[in-house]
Structure 1
Amino acid sequence: MNNKVQLIGRLGQDPEVRHLSNGSKVANFSVATSDFYKNKQGERVEDTQWHNVVVWDDKLIENVVEKFMSKGSQVGLTGKLKTRSYETNSGEKKYVTEVVLERFSGEILLLGGREPSQRDTDIQNFEERKAPVSTEEDSDDLPF
């Protein structure tokens, strides 16, 4: 494959999955990648780039994107870099470059989960409050 791009980054939002009239699916999401460098003053600077991703593989969408990916998920992607153009309502021509994952030429590797959201923190705090805390040590009741 001559056109191949690999990225490791985090999802900027939950994937948007659409059902097409022919019965297949397409998923869209953005991935942020970051590089770090030192400026002239010696300060560490983070440079974040956003990449639009389009998945055209129904099995990949059903088995990975819909089940495991959400905002903040860290992923590794392999796909093709494609640029397309379109005209706005005012007649202006726009260009969009996307990482496209198609059947047999795209991969998604799930890495390290996702950054906890406020909802996750709220759920964890609730679970900790409702979990009974035992101060007794019942070592005689161990099943082994």
Structure 2
Amino acid sequence: MNQIGLVGRLVREVELKEVGEDKVVTNNTLAVARRGKKENSPSTDFIPIVAWGQVAKLIQLYCEKGHMVGLTGKIQSRSYINKEEETVFMVEMVVDEVHFLQNKKLETAVK
């Protein structure tokens, strides 16, 4: 079974990219807090995330850098060749669902 659920903050502003006809994607990083080895030493993991289609559109519409979100999805590994012609291997979360824990529109109305 390949399922993952994470709660964290978006590291960058959300950018929606069109890839092909009627396909959109957004890539970002989720900062997820984790307990450190010592009692008062919290640590953070930075997990690459990718969302496609309607989920990507919802994230772009309702989220911005620093917002807390809950994500469910699966882990995917892939590789690509960078500009230096080196193979780069990466593991990322493919988002199936987003849970808005902080609403951009609500914050604007409160300010």
SS of residue in 1 equivalent to 2:36 = strand
Question: 2:27 maps to what in 1?
Answer: 28
RMSD: 1.9
Conserved? CA contact 2:15–2:60, under 8 Å: no
SS of residue in 2 equivalent to 1:70 = coil
- Partner residue of 1:61 out of 51, 56, 59: 56
Greater RCO, CA 8 A, separation 6+ = 2
CA distance in 2, matches of 1:66, 1:89: 28
Question: 1:109 maps to what in 2?
Answer: 99
Map 1:1-144 to 2 at 5 A.
2-37=1-36, 39=38, 44-56=40-52, 58-62=53-57, 64-101=58-95, 106-113=96-103, 124=111
Aligned length: 106
CA distance in 1, matches of 2:59, 2:17: 12
Percent identity among equivalent residues?
A: 28
Deviation digits for residues 63-113 of structure 1 (CA, Å, limit 9, x no counterpart)? x21221101110110011001111223332211111012xxxx11001144
Measure how far apart 1:61 and its partner are: 2.4
TM-score normalised over the length of structure 1: 0.66
Decide which moves more: 10-19 or 81-90. 81-90
SS of residue in 2 equivalent to 1:44 = coil
Q: Which protein has the bigger strand share?
A: 2
Conserved? CA contact 2:6–2:70, under 8 Å: yes
TM-score normalised over the length of structure 2: 0.83
Name structure 1 gaps, 5 residues minimum. 115-119, 125-144
Conserved? CA contact 2:26–2:56, under 8 Å: yes
SS of residue in 2 equivalent to 1:66 = helix
